[in-house]
Structure 1
Amino acid sequence: MDIASSPKETANRKTSGIIDTDVHQSPKSKKDLLPYLPKVWHEQFLTGGIGLSNFYPTPIGVSRKDATPEGDGAAGSDPQFMIEHHLEAYGIEYAILTGGIETALALHPDVDYGNAVIRAYNDYMIENWLPVDPRFKGSIAVNVSDPAEAVKEIQRVGGHPDVVQIIVCSGVKTPYGNRIYHPIYEAAERFGLPFAIHPGSEGKLYPPTPVGYPTRYMEWHNIIPLTFMAHVNSMVCEGVFEKFPGLKFVGIEGGVAWLPHLMWRMDKNYKALRSQTPWLKMLPSEYIKQNVRLTTQPIEEPERPEELVQIFRMIDAEKTVLFSSDYPHWDFDNPKVVLPSMPREMKARILGGTAAELYGLTLRSEQSGGNG
């Protein structure tokens, strides 16, 4: 969705109850991470970064042109600018920081390098972002290619009071229902942290679709929901949510409208093929509604807005959908104009109520005894 109104136009509008579940922060430069990174990795990080190819650069740039702070640093690299330009401008009560390229380090062939740089990103975020404003809440990255070290990282920083989520890349070799990841889920459930995936790594090491490689960015961007469907299908069928009933899975920036189709297809096949998943005690759709959450951006926008409401009703959106803006990226969604035809109660839940429950946050309306 294009930006329909500027921050100046929305700055004076009273709002409450908005939790943005996808806000991208980053260091101003690679050098900012060096104090947190063992010296043995400095040269490799400065010269190579994540060291993975990017076949699909966007022709219009990654970020909004107006989101770049004055002076040095890219969009999303200045906490104070983000507070003014995003949190204050749109009345955001909490911003769930989701980082950037660090999750793709799980695809790096040197797991020790990946572990070290991911730890550095986490420490940089915890020290330089979370103390700046209580509205900032952090997502810690872990290296899913090294589950034992991922568990150690959760144990190391997962108890921080402003860390509310684990975040990983969505484009991986093995679907997330596989038992190799189960130790990560056990730790996530124990610390009460949702397990979130975010796109960006698709195509960097493995084909981004079951039929190979798209030609260009638009094709790649259109088909990202395939990855999310595969992971949800895998986690349900492999019994992740039966084994870890307290685990919440968050699909960030992967769309929403595909979920009814997937639920219906899974339920239909379960009725005939349940002998292959004897550990499931409910319909797949019940696990999805209980344990899966999806974010709105980039939201599908049919010509008739009421059709999106119908889709949202099919998936109990008041319980399963979270608002996200994807700030400061090019396809940012303005919370003031997104979901224009949603019923009031449904919209309030999506904008903040469901996220507050998921992340254990208190909205201002709740503090004042209002209805949200």
Structure 2
Amino acid sequence: MKGEKDVNHSSEVFSVIDCDVHNQFRSNKDLVPYLEEPWKGFVQKFGMPGGGLPYASPIGNKRKDADPPSGLPVGSDPGYVVEHLVEPFHMEYALLCSDAVIGVSGFADPDYAAAVCRAYNDYMIAEWLSVSPKFKGYLCIGTQDPEQAAREIDRVGPHPDIVGVVVIGGARAPYGQRFYHPIYEACSRQGLPFVIHPGAEGAGIFNPPTAAGYVTNYLQWHTCLPQTYMAHLVSFVCEGVFEKFPELKVVFCEGGVNWLPPLLWRMDKNFKALRVSAPWLKRMPSEYVRDHCFMTTQPIEEPDDPKHLLAMFEMFDAENMLLFSSDYPHWDFDDPTKILQRLSPEMKRKIYCDNAKKLFKLA
């Protein structure tokens, strides 16, 4: 993995903005100095409780070659992330998303979730964003109490190295519903995209991870993740979120890609006959998606025949809607020098760098 990497087969080396890099904790007490009481004492004594996901990966969750020489846990040494990921792959920026924290939205206590998110956001700014100018961060919020979440967005959002607001895919209701609208109002106020990341579907107070209920193993859970994203996306559009918040952008991170075209076709077809259900929509549903929604490349569904992938990309304006992500340091890490080899240089440049630079307002 180390050494100079050319993200193109030509002599040109593409810059990369990685939109999904997972910074991990050294220990489950890293947040203690940043927590308020009574949560500080609780975490100091017992550590941070897990999110309760009922599935375990049979191959683990981390890359075996990402262990830092310092002996710290994988992904917890910011200097080594720069050395192991950012520098070898010519990354302009690595956008940090802590999957260890966003699952707190699955806890029943909204005040605990909000306290953990506040502590994490302060911790990330102090101990990660200060290490390298190439690190930018997504601030975390709990979705149990949208008013409290909006205050956190307003508190941390103005920081120059904060570029988005991240939540978990698991939810008690689809994200387009009015309950969540204070969050989108705050995102719009701060000019921050709303990022959805998987990881706790079926855990805690969340709904089951599939429309049919609970599956029996991690393979099925991981394969069915797009179901959650489909529900959220349809909800955003049909509930009129993008009419109410015309500046809002939503990133569907790490949920697959090629399920999108048939979903758009179905939504447009149904809307023609059922538009009375959503009288606030002034355009076809697919138009809102193309103007407001983005998806990350990892995990990309690459068929055996590369022509099929290019055909799918043409069906949903992938050139302008996709953002590169590696999912470092997880087991399904995507090497930017290995994926999407058949794309044109111009399309690659947009997906690997330009789309993210524009969306996240990166210099």
Task: Tell me the TM-score normalized by structure 2.
Answer: 0.95
1:8 partnered with 2:7: no
Deviation at 1:361, TM superposition (A): 1.2
Aligned to 1:151: 150
Question: For the Cα contact (< 8 Å) 1:118–1:143, is it kept in 2?
Answer: yes
Letter in 1 for 2:297: T
Deviation at 1:243, TM superposition (A): 0.7
Letter in 2 for 1:8: G
Helix, strand or coil at the partner of 1:101 = coil
Question: For the Cα contact (< 8 Å) 1:325–1:334, is it kept in 2?
Answer: yes
Question: For the Cα contact (< 8 Å) 1:53–1:204, is it kept in 2?
Answer: yes
Counting only pairs closer than 5 Å after superposition, residues 1-372 of structure 1 correspond to structure 2 as 6-8=1-3, 10=5, 15-46=13-44, 47=46, 49-205=48-204, 206-362=207-363
Question: For the Cα contact (< 8 Å) 2:61–2:330, is it kept in 1?
Answer: yes
Deviation at 1:68, TM superposition (A): 1.5
Deviation at 1:52, TM superposition (A): 3.0
Q: Distance in 2 between matches of 1:248 and 1:195?
A: 6
Letter in 2 for 1:7: K
Relative to structure 1, the CA distance from residue 11 to residue 263 in structure 2 (aligned partners, 3 Å threshold; closer, same or farther) is closer
Q: 4+ residue runs of structure 1 moved beyond 6 angstroms?
A: 11-14
Helix, strand or coil at the partner of 1:272 = helix
Number of residues paired by the alignment?
Answer: 357
Question: For the Cα contact (< 8 Å) 2:14–2:352, is it kept in 1?
Answer: no
Question: For the Cα contact (< 8 Å) 1:29–1:73, is it kept in 2?
Answer: no
Q: Distance in 2 between matches of 1:52 and 1:17?
A: 36
Q: Distance in 1 between matches of 2:342 and 2:157?
A: 38
Question: For the Cα contact (< 8 Å) 1:167–1:196, is it kept in 2?
Answer: yes
Cα deviation per residue 1:54-107 (whole Å; 9 max; x = unaligned)?
Answer: 211111111101111123421111110000000011111111111112111111
Deviation at 1:9, TM superposition (A): 6.1
Cα deviation per residue 1:128-169 (whole Å; 9 max; x = unaligned)?
Answer: 111111111110011111101101101110000000000001
Deviation at 1:43, TM superposition (A): 4.6
Question: For the Cα contact (< 8 Å) 1:50–1:104, is it kept in 2?
Answer: no
Helix, strand or coil at the partner of 1:253 = coil
Deviation at 1:293, TM superposition (A): 0.2
Letter in 2 for 1:328: P
Helix, strand or coil at the partner of 1:312 = helix
Question: For the Cα contact (< 8 Å) 1:50–1:105, is it kept in 2?
Answer: no
Q: Distance in 2 between matches of 1:107 and 1:335?
A: 32
Q: Distance in 2 between matches of 1:8 and 1:138?
A: 26
Q: Distance in 2 between matches of 1:351 and 1:50?
A: 36
Q: Where does the alignment leave 5 or more consecutive residues of structure 1 unmatched? A: 1-5, 363-372
Letter in 2 for 1:241: F
Question: For the Cα contact (< 8 Å) 1:14–1:91, is it kept in 2?
Answer: no
Q: Percent identity over the alignment?
A: 51
Letter in 2 for 1:240: V
Deviation at 1:50, TM superposition (A): 3.8
Q: Distance in 2 between matches of 1:25 and 1:76?
A: 5
Q: Distance in 2 between matches of 1:50 and 1:106?
A: 12
Deviation at 1:281, TM superposition (A): 0.5
Deviation at 1:11, TM superposition (A): 8.5
Letter in 2 for 1:17: S
Q: Distance in 1 between matches of 2:212 and 2:273?
A: 27
Question: For the Cα contact (< 8 Å) 1:22–1:96, is it kept in 2?
Answer: yes
Helix, strand or coil at the partner of 2:111 = helix
Relative to structure 1, the CA distance from residue 210 to residue 109 in structure 2 (aligned partners, 3 Å threshold; closer, same or farther) is same
Q: Distance in 1 between matches of 2:179 and 2:37?
A: 31
Q: Distance in 2 between matches of 1:11 and 1:330?
A: 22
Question: For the Cα contact (< 8 Å) 1:28–1:73, is it kept in 2?
Answer: yes
Q: Distance in 1 between matches of 2:347 and 2:239?
A: 31
Q: Distance in 1 between matches of 2:6 and 2:277?
A: 55
Helix, strand or coil at the partner of 2:283 = coil
Letter in 2 for 1:144: T
Letter in 2 for 1:302: P
Relative to structure 1, the CA distance from residue 72 to residue 33 in structure 2 (aligned partners, 3 Å threshold; closer, same or farther) is farther
